[in-house]
């Protein structure tokens, strides 16, 4: 589990709905996004060809904002679990992280699920 800096914590909290950012926490390259007020974090790598999931700060979701979408080959993933539901890596999943609040500090942990 890694403690986020105040700047990282503020950046994550300031994300607007449907906004995505790439960030690094303790050498972990992540894509973090806000979907309907909930923050999600995944390793910034698509399981298909190990390419970046977020290559720019604008493309992260499908047109309905219900699935995370890889810009290279259109693989689509459930935001809640990272499971691929469409595309060339069907049956695989993104490496998921979770945010944990302890007092006023925000931590990041690899998800077991």
CATH entry 1.10.645.10 includes domain 2-110: no
Q: Any idea what DSSP says for residue 67?
A: S
**DSSP per-residue letters across 6-62:** HHHHHHHHTPPTT-EEEEEETTEEEEEEEETTEEEEEES--TTTT--S-SSSS--B-
Interval 34-52: pLDDT, tens: 999 999 999 999 999 888 8
More confident residue, 15 or 72: 15
pLDDT score at 113? 57
SS3 108: strand
Which pLDDT does position 59 carry in this prediction?
A: 74
71 pLDDT above the threshold of 90: no
The C-alpha angle 80, 30, 40, rounded to 5 degrees, equals: 25
């Amino acid at each position: 589990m890694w403690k986020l800096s105040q700047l990282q914590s503020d950046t994550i909290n300031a994300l607007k709905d449907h906004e995505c950012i790439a960030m690094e926490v303790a050498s972990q390259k992540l894509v973090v996004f806000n979907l309907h007020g909930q923050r999600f974090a995944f390793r910034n790598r698509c399981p298909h060809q190990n390419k970046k999931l977020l290559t720019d700060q604008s493309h992260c979701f499908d047109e309905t904002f219900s699935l995370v979408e890889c810009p290279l080959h259109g693989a689509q993933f459930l935001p809640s679990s990272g499971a691929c539901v469409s595309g060339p890596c069907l049956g695989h999943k993104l490496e998921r992280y979770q945010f944990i609040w302890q007092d006023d500090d925000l931590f990041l942990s690899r998800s077991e699920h």
